[in-house]
Amino acid sequence: MKAYIIREKCLSESNICPPMKNCPNKCFSYIEDEEEPLGGRIEIDFEKCVGCGKCVTDCCGDCIELR
């Protein structure tokens, strides 16, 4: 299983995103993108993700699920 972001729920605030700070494998990154409503998005590197689920419990917006 891997972590997936539910984009409709995610506010993409890299400076306050607990999974970005707490992921043991540093899977999360912020991508600046003017096409996105808030000017960027948070992405997961599936090569690094081991499906530990820490991000699911850490996410303050309930925006991440394991599939």
With 90 as the cut, is the pLDDT of residue 66 above it? yes
Output the pLDDT for position 67.
Answer: 94
In which domain, by residue range, is 52 found? 3-66
Output the pLDDT for position 63.
Answer: 95
Q: Please spell the DSSP secondary structure of 10-63, one letter per residue.
A: ----TTT-HHHHH-TT--EEEEE-TTSTTSEEEEE-TTT-----HHHHH-TT--
Output the pLDDT for position 24.
Answer: 97
> Hey, is 9 helix, strand or coil?
coil
Output the pLDDT for position 37.
Answer: 85
pLDDT tens digits, one per residue of 6-62 = 999 998 988 999 999 999 999 999 999 999 888 899 999 999 999 999 999 999 999
- The CATH number linked to 19 is 3.30.70.20
Q: Structural domain tally of the chain?
A: 1
Output the pLDDT for position 31.
Answer: 95
